[in-house]
Amino acid sequence: MASITPSYDREGEHIGWKASVRRRGFPPQYQTFRTRKEAEAWAVVIESEMTRGVWRDRSESEGTTLAECMDRYLLEVVPTKKGGRREVDYVNQWKARPIAHLYMSSVRGKDVAAAMRDMEAEGKGANTIRLHLALLSHLFKVARTEWGMEAISNPVESVRKPRLPQGRDRRLVGDEECRLLAACQSVNPELAAIVRFAIETAMRQGEIMGLAWDAVNLAQRTVTLNETKNGTKRVVPLSAAACKVLSELPRRIDGKVWAYGQEGVKYAFPAACRRAGIKDLRFHDLRHEATSRLFEKGLNLMQVAAITGHKTLQMLKRYTHLRAEDLARMLDRARP
């Protein structure tokens, strides 16, 4: 039977109501509430679950805050995930929000929705918010399956996710490629080589900048990527132009292909675009450009996916922006 008793602090002040549920075959359950009505409602739920055989121990989730779970997630889970450095920042941002002070058992969809509104007010984009939500959702999944919090539900599942904007369709137009390469050449010849290589291979910026000579086989015209964004090894075929870029580079003592690092390109590429008078072009747009060119060369879906490393048609479509005039020429070539 459940019992509801008043709860007092050390000075004898009434601070709430303590609900106790004792039933044979189950550990005693205790919880303190501000009002007697809340205590009675909680006791009814616990007794009903015990009667129906669906009760789960809530003591772990009712005594652990989201912030404490974030710390544990940072220690146990993040180091095992690819891209963990970025998730460290996500964890710290979650810990700074009001929701972090709630106990795991009390986090509800409305709390997550409030955090989403705060993120929108801070100027975060839809995709960034979805990445934050993905981390929170995975934390609740781990808490349920590995940390003894089977009774909690995942509050992320009950909120509406922000709609992703339509994928960028920015491609090089007119003489932009020539202007861009000329500007890169004036900044640093290696920067121009990096841009040419990106346009020829459709590789990600991180894959290009992390390239080492032991992954390059100019005889077979391939680059082997053992570490990729999706965790799958990929062998990228090299066009004659891509091979020419690499063959003209000096060999470095440290084994790296480029003297530039990611941070260097992060600042040098926008500077080259400004010098060339090119607006709204990001380095990642070169991957879109290269992927689209592969289709325009006549490669089929599976061939392009094998080169770019996209695992789903949906993602490949977001990276492909075919020009109508190029498709028209392909139709003419296809005529019998």
Q: Where are the beta strands (DSSP E) in the chain?
A: 2-8, 14-21, 29-33, 216-217, 222-225, 234-237
Question: For 247-272, what is the mean pLDDT?
Answer: 90
Q: What is the pLDDT of residues 52-67, one digit of tens each?
A: 776 666 666 777 899 9
Mark whether 8 and 84 lie in a shared domain. no
Mark whether 99 and 143 lie in a shared domain. yes
284 assigned to active site: yes
317 assigned to active site: no
Q: Could you tell me the two tokens for 87? A: 């998730």
Mark whether 305 and 230 lie in a shared domain. yes
From 95, 204, 234, 288, the catalytic residue: 204
Q: Could you tell me the two tokens for 191? A: 């920067």
Residue 164 lies inside a defined structural domain of this protein? no
In this structure, of 23-27, 95-99, 200-204, 237-241, the range with the lowest mean pLDDT score is: 23-27
229 assigned to active site: yes
Question: For 246-259, what is the mean pLDDT?
Answer: 91
| Residue 19 belongs to domain spanning | 2-55
Per-residue pLDDT at 25: 73
Residue 251 lies inside a defined structural domain of this protein? yes
Mark whether 83 and 149 lie in a shared domain. yes
Mark whether 214 and 81 lie in a shared domain. no
d(CA 243, CA 236): 12
Supply the CATH number for residue 77's domain: 1.10.150
- Pick the closest to residue 153 from 111, 102, 105 (CA basis): 105
Supply the CATH number for residue 280's domain: 1.10.443.10
| pLDDT above 80 (res 164) | no
Mark whether 294 and 216 lie in a shared domain. yes
Instruction: Please count the structural domains in the chain.
Output: 3
From 73, 90, 260, 319, the catalytic residue: 319
Q: Could you tell me the two tokens for 283? A: 């380095």
Q: What is the pLDDT of residues 121-134, one digit of tens each?
A: 999 988 899 999 99
Mark whether 282 and 222 lie in a shared domain. yes
Mark whether 306 and 211 lie in a shared domain. yes
Per-residue pLDDT at 93: 94
288 assigned to active site: no
Mark whether 130 and 151 lie in a shared domain. yes
Residue 305 lies inside a defined structural domain of this protein? yes
Q: What is the pLDDT of residues 194-227, one digit of tens each?
A: 999 999 999 999 899 989 999 999 999 998 988 7
124 assigned to active site: no
Residue 314 lies inside a defined structural domain of this protein? yes
Residue 322 lies inside a defined structural domain of this protein? yes
Residue 144 lies inside a defined structural domain of this protein? yes
From 18, 124, 284, 318, the catalytic residue: 284
From 229, 297, 317, 323, the catalytic residue: 229
Mark whether 192 and 263 lie in a shared domain. yes
Rg (CA), the chain: 28
Mark whether 254 and 182 lie in a shared domain. yes
Residue 240 lies inside a defined structural domain of this protein? yes
Q: Could you tell me the two tokens for 249? A: 């580079």
Question: For 254-280, what is the mean pLDDT?
Answer: 91
117 assigned to active site: no
CB 191 within 8 A of CB 265: yes
Residue 236 lies inside a defined structural domain of this protein? yes
Per-residue pLDDT at 53: 72
Mark whether 209 and 287 lie in a shared domain. yes
Q: What is the pLDDT of residues 105-162, one digit of tens each?
A: 889 999 999 999 999 999 998 889 999 999 999 999 999 888 888 778 899 998 998 8
